[in-house]
Structure 1
Amino acid sequence: MIGDVKIMDIDPQITERISHKIEEKGGFVEKERILSKLKLLVSDFGIPAEEAERTVTNEFLREQNLSSTGRQNQDVSKIADANPGDWVTVEGKIVSISNPPSPSIAQAGIIADDSGAVRFVVWSKADCPAFEIGKRYRIESATIDEFRGSPSMKIHSGTKVTETEEEIPLMPKPEFISDLKPGVATVRVKIIQNWEPRHERMFQTGVLGDETGTAKFVTWKDDSNVKLEEGRVYNIYYAGVDEYQGKISLNLTGTDIIEEEGASIEVSGGNATLSGSFINMGPGSGLIKRCPVEGCNRVLNRQNFCPVHEVQSKFRYDLRITGVIDDGTKATNVLIQRDETEKITGITLEKAIEIAENNPLGMDDVFMRMQDVILGRYLQCRGNDLEGTFLVKSCQPQSFDSQKHTQLINRAHEQEEVDL
């Protein structure tokens, strides 16, 4: 059952009304075809029966070149004005096409006009001609719903799609990170930090920001991937904006990206502070090997194996620390990159490589030496607090604080009592 309407519960009078309207205009459609269309819209797409009636009526009237007395979807709507629950007719330009996430979807992407942009999905059963990037289309009788908090346009079997030659001027204005909401947006940002991709389909992920704040970004693999470099400024057109647990993230897959050479942005944020005792050094810390394939940067295992590009003999070395800092109230995961790792441990990348190559324990020796230096040490860090992990930009040792130390001991005793 969909929308509390069972497939066989469609009122026979709906079929009769549609048939009568078509005959009044001088046409004829078999009632079995009418009922089949109604069932498709109601059962497959969850469209309310009254909306399905209007859609099927207009579709058969168009099919037989008969005029319709209704005005549904005849007036062109601005994309920025479309809200979940609306039936719309829009005219726009296809600015992005992405890989369909499901066999039930023929195409997915972004369409834009001079007011804004919206994500769209074409159902496989819609029998719609394939959209092409850069071309302009008139889309009639599409539905707007909500997916992960942002509007999404659905193109179904009752939607009419026509390619148009009409020129649509598109001049998207960048939005500030602090003003973003779920949907589609154009931004001017600086790449703050690239992270190691955690999925084989992921091309790049990290943190970007502007004068008003920072956000996580991700790019999934497709034929148009562009590697974004740390410290550089980019104009990114029509990025997908998602929200999860109150935090905004950007999907850059399929976007148009233009670098502003020589430009700089004073990024707001990255000034969160974290002070406490370093209580745990996690695996993957110390001297690590990274995949040298452009756009990958994944950490290799002990056999120099990359989960995407397999064995890599020409790896490159790097330093980092993953671990936990406890401030006496809560424990926070931290990630410290090479520059700060060298500063707080006193071990440079060159020194770490020398240790690994000249000691029986190899890279494990580097891990243990760093652990001896940092474990239990009080640190004050600045950086970005994102999704439960504190990304350290700078880190300074602190003097011993007996009060904080006492708080940590008390917490440990309380946890032991809970465990018992």
Structure 2
Amino acid sequence: MNKEELTPHVEELKRVLEEKVTEKELMDELDKYVNEYGVDMESAKRAIRRKFGGEESGFVTGNAVSKKIGDLAGNEPNVDITARVVYVEKKQIRARGEDKTIISGILGDDTGTASFTIWSDSYDLEKGSVYIFKNAYIKTWNDRIQVNMGSRGVVEKSDATIDLPERTISYTSVESKIGGLKEGMGNVSVTGRILSVEERNVNVRGEDKIVYSGLMADDTGKVQFSAWNDHNLKEGETILITNAYIRGWKGIPQLNIGDRSEVSRVDDPFGSADLDISSNKTLREVSESGGGLDITVSGLVVDLRGGSGLIFRCPQCNRSVLGGECTNHGKIDPVHDLRMKIVLDDGSGAIGAVLNRELTEKLTGVTLENAVSLSKARGESGIIAREIAPKILMKRLVLRGNVMSDEYGPMMIVSEADTEEVDIEKAATKLLDVVEGAL
């Protein structure tokens, strides 16, 4: 594509990134992805937005449209919502190495409720009060509507009166596979094989208690579970849990066996299948679920993000540090380490992934010792990322690990990684079959 064809897409990226990146930088990046690497336009723009931190801002075009919560589709770029604050809190998050305060909670009107996030602490919202949320952008997470207020958003107090509908509570348990569990689900029934179980002593409000936790699996995936009551669970047995509820930790679903839950032993429907294996998913499936344990994905490396290459860590807590100072231990004598933070795209979606020293050395051939020597010789550590980039970009990889999520989306902590060999003839035949089938 020539410069004229790329220009509209560069202008779109400038708006999304709020002019934080120059037009020349964006043009160079887009030209590299599309014309040099051969990446499709949507994947290229997605990679550039991730690289320059554009996930928070959302797309804002034209004039805002007023909508009720029940009418939100989950993809609106610019909408006004008048709603009552059902719940609100300010909380601290860690974003790009800095502490940041945001406001989150639940909004409601006469058509339904939705969670909301204001990416600043500029407002003091009151529970029960009604506000107009102007220029919000709407996303979905785990099939639930999320209202987001970026830098263009404005919150104003409203004199409107909103009566929320009566909440109907159902205790009917819904059957679900482990691979389909999502944070926030309640009253679910799950059948799985116990892979591990342990007792842990915890202190809750000054009282010592025992929690029973472990790992269970079915033919779609694995999930951590916990119970406050002793159900005499044994490794290797298959159980049916009814009326469980799902909580999440950094996007990873966790199955909770509560006081209303029932546990029964059932015949094993999985036969001789080995359930202690990784589950293969597309990146779209990973993004929709929000996270999970022991997942395998494959795709093309479309970006090497900042924080890759030669880094420094605290020798006591292993945190990455800058300037020889750890947030936990103060001034320290840091140790060198090597890592990659990549963006993987399989055509259905994209996620970030972090690869440790061992995997970085395996995939690039750049060792920590070589990196330290080169950095000292050149007088800078940034050169290592530039050395690694051409060795990893546009490579197809198969990654295995746990996927966690935060406000910026899913991130895989990789435990295993290999290059993926592509059978060109087989891929071409498959594509031809698809094209001929569409004619």
Query: Does the pair score TM above 0.5?
Result: no
- TM (norm. structure 1) is 0.36
Greater fraction strand: 2
- TM (norm. structure 2) is 0.34
Structure having the higher Rg: 1
